[in-house]
Amino acid sequence: MKKIYTIVLMSFLVLSCERLVKFINGPPVGHGFLRTFGTTFYDYGWGVDETFDGGAIIVGVKEYRDDRTRDILLVKVDEDGFGLWEKSFGGPDNEEAYAVKQCMNGGYILAGYSNSYGAASEVYVVKTDSYGKLEWDKTYGGPNLDRAYEIIETHDGHFIIVGVTNSPGISHGNDDIWLQKIDGQGNTIWRNAYGESNHEVGYDVVELPDGGFLVLGYKNFYDIAGKDIYLIKTDSDGTTVWEKTFGSTMVYDEIGYSIHEAYPSGYLICAATNSRDNGWFDPQVIKIDYDGNMQWSAIYNGGGLSHTRWVATPTYDGGAAIIGTTTYTGQGNEDIYLIKIDQQGQELWNIGFEGGDDDWGWSIVETCINDLLIVGSTKSYGRGIFDIILMKTNEFGTYDLDG
């Protein structure tokens, strides 16, 4: 039942000449690749990180045809995107991981949720060695829904988990943002929930130089103001220092999905918003200072549906690369969409990768040599109904067709 198949695309169709491509900062030099991984059924890619050897680690999920249960899928690839090994983690029910990081000791840490252990849905964290061998796995939570969407390693060698909790005794009512610090063995150091009677969900976290954290997500104001970007600053023990919301003046949705350091100072928030009232969810980037004050905000044409996540990674030139999913470029399909901005938020170029069917961009990181690693899910390539897709492009978002 749990046999794995790996599909590697050695070459692929030329992208449509109708795709939207706009360069203003020089001609691209092509290299990189496109690879897919998965079974003959449903496989989705959620997270990616560059590894110390120049390759990458991918986390996602695979679904079994016979009983429709899901397991976490962890894939290690070399610098050319070829699979080195695959590991799966899970119990008799559903497990899914949305985030993966290589640890300072060379191993990997994954975070998501589990339906197999404990209550209905608990935060699930898996720690492996550098070969994907399980070192430990643990669940955290209460009787209701608890999920993790991001995990990072802190400067002291511990880990911070961010997500959502709906469990009595942890949340303050409805969904609250979950923030938990664990040690290297998965033991809880502290745990906090942030929220009121609204629904609050956390998607990303960064550690601050003073040991505190910035936690990003959204707060739902329902028919008063919709969903607003929600930013919390905590101290090193998770105690709230201040909180901010960013949103439009009317009933629209702004959902914060990623936050990272900005050049030369402050932080960049990347969000999805439908505040243009055009029927789409577009990427929004907000530059804030260290006190959370907005310095500038920009919305870019994205054309995503309501499930589209827009996330960004910092780039070597002080700007950022944004990944998500668009309906602009295809013929009624969803396509992976990449946008490059400079440090003032000016759009430099954009590329829609047309595959002929639905493809989703979900996570992005810049490599140490300024390439871009993109992971998501594809219906256009591979052999499954959906497969995990991994793309590596140069700094201009292009790659060789023989990669």
pLDDT tens by residue, the chain, 403 residues = 333 333 333 333 333 323 333 333 344 445 799 999 999 999 999 999 999 999 999 999 999 998 999 999 999 999 999 999 999 999 999 999 999 999 999 999 999 999 998 778 999 999 999 999 999 999 999 999 999 999 999 999 999 999 999 999 999 888 999 999 999 999 999 999 999 878 999 999 999 999 999 999 999 999 889 999 999 999 999 999 999 999 998 999 999 999 999 999 999 999 999 999 999 999 999 999 999 999 999 999 999 999 999 999 999 999 999 999 999 876 789 999 999 999 999 999 999 999 999 999 999 999 999 999 999 999 999 989 999 999 999 999 998 755 5
Same domain, 181 and 318: yes
CA pair distance 178, 31, nearest whole angstrom: 40
Same domain, 200 and 67: no
Instruction: Using the Cα atoms of residue 162, residue 167, residue 170 and residue 171 in order, give the sign of their dihedral.
Output: positive
Instruction: Using the Cα atoms of residue 210, residue 100, residue 85 and residue 335 in order, give the sign of their dihedral.
Output: negative
Same domain, 354 and 399: no
Find, among 153, 80, 69, the residue nearest to 110 by Cα.
Answer: 153
Q: With respect to residue 354, please indicate whether it lies within any of the assigned structural domains.
A: yes
Same domain, 340 and 217: yes
Q: With respect to residue 98, please indicate whether it lies within any of the assigned structural domains.
A: no
Q: With respect to residue 19, please indicate whether it lies within any of the assigned structural domains.
A: no
Q: What is the pLDDT of residue 119?
A: 74
Q: With respect to residue 249, please indicate whether it lies within any of the assigned structural domains.
A: yes
Given a contact cutoff of 8 angstroms between Cβ atoms, the answer to whether 380 and 355 are in contact is yes
Q: What is the pLDDT of residue 329?
A: 76
Q: What is the pLDDT of residue 163?
A: 98
Same domain, 64 and 156: no
Q: With respect to residue 23, please indicate whether it lies within any of the assigned structural domains.
A: no
Same domain, 122 and 261: yes
Q: In which domain, by residue range, is 371 found? A: 1-7+31-89+367-403
Q: What is the pLDDT of residue 157?
A: 96
Q: Which two tokens stand for residue 332?
A: 């009624």
Same domain, 76 and 119: no
Same domain, 341 and 264: yes
Same domain, 341 and 371: no
Same domain, 67 and 115: no
Q: With respect to residue 26, please indicate whether it lies within any of the assigned structural domains.
A: no
Task: Report if pTM > 0.85.
Answer: yes
Quote the number of domains for the chain: 2
Q: With respect to residue 237, please indicate whether it lies within any of the assigned structural domains.
A: yes
Same domain, 213 and 355: yes
Per-residue pLDDT of 331-384, as tens digits, reads 789 999 999 999 999 999 999 999 999 999 999 999 999 999 999 999 999 989
Q: What is the pLDDT of residue 20?
A: 37
CATH classification of the domain holding 234: 2.130.10.10
Same domain, 122 and 239: yes
Q: With respect to residue 273, please indicate whether it lies within any of the assigned structural domains.
A: yes
CA pair distance 196, 217, nearest whole angstrom: 14
Given a contact cutoff of 8 angstroms between Cβ atoms, the answer to whether 58 and 388 are in contact is yes
Per-residue pLDDT of 323-342, as tens digits, reads 999 998 767 899 999 999 99
